[in-house]
Amino acid sequence: MKKRIAGILAILLLLCTVVPVMAEDKGIEYSVTTIEHYQFMNDLDPYGSLCYEKVEYWLHDYDGWSEEFHETEHDVEDSDFGCSNSGYQGLDEADFHYHFGHGVDEIWSTVICLWDYPFYGVVTPLEVSEKWDKDNEWVLLHSCKVLQDVSYWGAALKYSHMLLGFKTTTYADEDLPDNVLRRAVQYDYTVIDAYYYGTKQTYGSDVQATAIADTLDQWYNDHLHGHGTVASDEYPDDDIVYYASWSC
């Protein structure tokens, strides 16, 4: 299923006034999947481990979040990406998910590559379409090219709020989660502003980042939990998403 999309052109108008609302209840979770070693693709070590350390520092050590799971290498499976609406729901069991690994543009779609790609090891947008409807709000895919297909991947956002990633080739760099999460949890940026300025600080103009939100309210107002407002889930889901891409 594809979602109708509405481009957001005025990316520089994303700044918004932040009123911090620090939550005493730290019953919020993050999850991480990282793949450094591939059977048929270039390895990415040690960057998966380095990126995980940044996520762990800002969300767990600094901000007190609980780690729902951290899967690596062969243990990363498509089920970790929230491919089911029942039983184990992977990333949809945590408020924030970060993934590090290869992504490619196939003829028919862009995909997330698992360790044994191209033999079986892929996560497709069809697998997650209309599936993120439990606990997740935000997903960051640190992978090349996956968000070229905005409408297909945006269809995952049933009640989840936002999908962040890249339209073009990107690079393995632990500064990305560091720059994004530092803004979000230390300086109370909105999620969009944290991602926009974090990608700008990390990469050059050869890299194009993309953000997709399920509603405009989420786009302009979502902060990580405890750092400002969080917009409500879209209910019922209207099959429209909003996005912007920019050169870093």
State percent of the chain over pLDDT 70: 90
Q: What CA–CA distance (Å, rounded) separates 38 from 122?
A: 12
The pTM of this model reads 0.91
Question: Tokens 């968000």 — which residue?
Answer: 147
113 lies in some domain:
yes
39 lies in some domain:
yes
**Which residues have C-beta within 8 Å of that of residue 24, sequence separation ≥ 6?**
none
15 lies in some domain:
no
Q: What CA–CA distance (Å, rounded) separates 185 from 204?
A: 24
36 lies in some domain:
yes
Read off the amino acid at residue 47: Y
User: What's the chain's average pLDDT?
Assistant: 92
Residue 19 buriedness (CB in 10 A; 0-12 / 13-18 / 19+): exposed
Q: What is the CATH number of the domain that holds 140?
A: 3.40.50.1460
55 lies in some domain:
yes
16 lies in some domain:
no
Summarize pLDDT for 138-196 with one digit per residue, the tens.
Answer: 999 999 999 999 999 999 999 999 999 999 999 999 999 999 999 999 999 999 999 99
Summarize pLDDT for 226-238 with one digit per residue, the tens.
Answer: 999 999 999 999 9
Show the domain range for 70: 4-10+22-247
17 lies in some domain:
no
Structural domain count of the chain: 1
